[in-house]
């Protein structure tokens, strides 16, 4: 038993806590940052959707520009002063072969070529295709696979014409994990946790150790705020490297984020272009530019997704939680932050779809079901903060049993069948298109609407390129 106590003491001494930034850095796959290729794709998605939200929030037709500049390993090392030094002990390097390893590799490659030629002859006999064409295609595939294994870096820049960010808030908004304006309200957004751009910075910091650069200006501000910063993962706090105010002669409002990351565009090129096309379909009122700047200029290209309509959905509005399927912890949190002195007022004031009349019926039914009247305990319509844990649990279970009306969806901002149809026609030019917008329903206290579009025929040149 004494030994057990010693072990417990030792365990208590090494017990540690992780900051949110450390946790997500170590578990980055949760946020979609797995491989360099997928991380590049996720980074573009996060910044584009932040830009759309920023413009739609203030009712401005979105103009979003994305530039992806390829940076080879050699140029990256030169740009950031980490050129490879002259190798002295060559045996330390994994790209240096011994004579034995080279002989084994060459033998293996010869065996692979012999098998490939044999298989190509069999395939040619069946298909009529020449052996040379089959072997040439296989060689191209092998070269593409070898290219995907190279370390490549990219300068990703995303610029919009949205609301912008207040100068003093920029480092905390993008450099402090689980710090967001989205936590204290119920409002439709493309993201819920405010994590995306911060994960882009964390990924960059883990792979290339370079700060994020942000330029931003808000309405009524006659300058552009410029910040360069990293994240202190242990403290979960921004580390500002540079801050200055730039001239803004064009009175631009919006945000431009630029970051250097490791990635592999070749692996996710088609998926990224398909994503941009799909986002252009559901936002035909937005304009997107995507520019890829390759090390070899002949591989560079530019895509533009033009605006088809000036008709934007109404901006989403802050809403109340729908009472169906609200969990117990959320119920406790709402009670803790409420100033209502009566349970009926709390229910009608904090939840949607509960009128004063319905709240009275709920309280009356809850009191009868709880046995308060029968036992002479008085009115159950007390201050929510005076409720016991047992009464709170009973209230929660009771709310799960009540048939509440579905939300009206007035606080949501659906794309709408008109915009969906326009988007599909603009990007796909189909032979036939059908759209549908469902009625609002609720899940875990949040209202949502399902929208769908189906098309037949048409073309998709951007994805094919």
The pLDDT assigned to 181 comes to 59
The pLDDT assigned to 463 comes to 42
Q: Is the pLDDT of residue 30 over 70?
A: yes
User: If we measure between CA atoms, which residue out of 333, 315, 46 comes closest to residue 184?
Assistant: 333
| Structure-token match 């969990």, residue found | 327
| Structure-token match 């003093």, residue found | 168
Q: Is the pLDDT of residue 6 over 90?
A: no
d(CA 23, CA 174): 17
Report the Cα 78 to chain-centroid distance in Å: 32
Dihedral of CA atoms 359, 363, 369, 372 in degrees, nearest 10, equals 180
Secondary structure class of 258 (helix, strand, coil): strand
pLDDT, one tens digit per residue, over 85-96 is 777 787 777 777
Q: Is the pLDDT of residue 200 over 80?
A: yes
Burial group, residue 89, by CB count within 10 angstroms (0-12, 13-18, 19+)? exposed
Q: Is the pLDDT of residue 437 over 60?
A: yes
55-59, 67-71, 178-182, 268-272, range with the lowest pLDDT: 178-182
Cα–Cα distances in angstroms (integers) from residue 414 to residues 189, 305, 309, 351, 443, in the given order:
11, 21, 16, 22, 17
Q: Are 157 and 260 in contact (CB under 8 A)?
A: no
Averaged pLDDT for residues 244-266: 95
- Going by DSSP bridges, is the β-strand pair 223-232/237-247 parallel, antiparallel, or unpaired? antiparallel
The pLDDT assigned to 142 comes to 65
Cα–Cα distances in angstroms (integers) from residue 458 to residues 95, 287, 329, 427, 432, in the given order:
48, 21, 50, 9, 8
The pLDDT assigned to 122 comes to 85
The pLDDT assigned to 378 comes to 47
d(CA 227, CA 215): 7
Looking at the chain, the number of H-run helices and the number of E-run strands are: 15, 12
The pLDDT assigned to 369 comes to 53
The string over 178-212, giving b where at least 16 C-beta atoms fall within 10 Å of a residue's C-beta and e elsewhere, is: ebbeeeeebbbbeeeebbbbbbbbbbbbbbbebbb
Higher-confidence residue: 257 or 180? 257
Q: Is the pLDDT of residue 375 over 80?
A: no
- Beta strand extents in 60-182 (DSSP E only): 63-72, 152-159
d(CA 51, CA 45): 10
Q: Are 140 and 42 in contact (CB under 8 A)?
A: no
Q: Is the pLDDT of residue 157 over 70?
A: yes
The pLDDT assigned to 374 comes to 43
Which of the given ranges, 16-25, 35-44, 314-323, has the highest pLDDT on average?
35-44
Q: Are 227 and 170 in contact (CB under 8 A)?
A: yes
The predicted model scores a pTM of 0.79
Averaged pLDDT for residues 253-266: 94
The pLDDT assigned to 13 comes to 57
Q: Is the pLDDT of residue 346 over 70?
A: yes
Secondary structure class of 296 (helix, strand, coil): coil
**Token pair belonging to 251:** 């009175």
The string over 142-152, giving b where at least 16 C-beta atoms fall within 10 Å of a residue's C-beta and e elsewhere, is: eeeeeeeeeeb
pLDDT, one tens digit per residue, over 392-421 is 999 999 999 999 999 999 999 999 999 999
Q: How many residues are listed for the chain in this entry? A: 465
Strand partners, 157: 67, 258
Q: Is the pLDDT of residue 251 over 60?
A: yes
The pLDDT assigned to 63 comes to 97
């Amino acid at each position: 038993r004494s030994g057990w106590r010693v072990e417990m003491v030792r365990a208590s001494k090494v017990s540690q806590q992780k900051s949110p930034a450390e946790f997500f850095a170590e578990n980055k796959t949760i946020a979609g940052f797995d491989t360099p290729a997928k991380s590049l794709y996720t980074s573009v998605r996060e910044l584009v959707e932040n830009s759309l939200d920023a413009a739609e929030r203030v009712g401005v037709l979105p103009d979003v520009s994305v530039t992806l500049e390829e940076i080879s390993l050699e140029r990256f090392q030169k740009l950031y002063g980490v050129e490879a030094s002259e190798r002295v002990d060559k045996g330390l390097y994994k790209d240096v072969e011994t004579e034995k390893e080279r002989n084994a590799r060459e033998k293996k490659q010869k065996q692979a070529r012999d098998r490939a030629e044999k298989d190509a002859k069999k395939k040619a006999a069946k298909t009529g295709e020449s052996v040379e064409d089959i072997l040439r295609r296989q060689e191209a595939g092998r070269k593409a696979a070898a290219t995907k294994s190279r370390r490549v870096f990219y300068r990703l820049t995303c610029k919009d014409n949205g609301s912008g960010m207040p100068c003093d808030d920029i480092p905390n908004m993008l450099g402090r994990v689980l710090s967001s304006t989205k936590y204290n309200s119920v409002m439709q957004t493309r993201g819920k946790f405010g994590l995306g751009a911060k994960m882009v910075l964390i990924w960059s910091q883990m792979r290339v150790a370079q700060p994020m650069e942000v330029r931003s200006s808000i309405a009524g501000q006659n300058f552009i705020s410029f910040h360069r910063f990293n994240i202190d993962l242990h403290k979960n706090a921004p580390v500002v490297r540079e801050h200055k105010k730039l001239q803004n002669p064009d009175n631009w409002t919006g945000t431009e984020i630029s970051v250097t990351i490791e990635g592999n565009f070749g692996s996710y090129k088609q998926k990224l272009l398909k994503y941009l096309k799909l986002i252009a379909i559901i936002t035909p009122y937005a304009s997107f530019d995507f520019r890829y700047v390759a090390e070899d200029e002949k591989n560079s290209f530019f895509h533009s997704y033009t605006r088809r309509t000036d008709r934007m959905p109404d901006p989403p509005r802050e809403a109340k939680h729908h009472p169906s399927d609200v969990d117990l912890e959320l119920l406790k949190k709402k009670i803790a932050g409420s100033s209502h002195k009566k349970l009926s007022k709390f229910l009608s004031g904090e939840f949607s779809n509960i009128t004063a009349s319905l709240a009275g019926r709920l309280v009356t039914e809850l009191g009868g079901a709880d046995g308060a009247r029968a036992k002479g305990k008085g009115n159950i319509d007390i201050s929510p903060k005076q409720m016991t844990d047992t009464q709170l649990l009973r209230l929660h279970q009771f709310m799960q049993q009540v048939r509440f009306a579905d939300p009206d969806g007035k606080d949501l901002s659906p794309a709408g069948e008109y915009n969906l149809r326009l988007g599909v026609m603009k990007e796909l030019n189909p032979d036939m298109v059908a759209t549908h917008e469902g009625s609002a329903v609720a899940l875990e206290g949040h209202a949502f609407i399902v929208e769908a579009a189906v098309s037949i025929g048409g073309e998709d040149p951007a994805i094919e390129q």
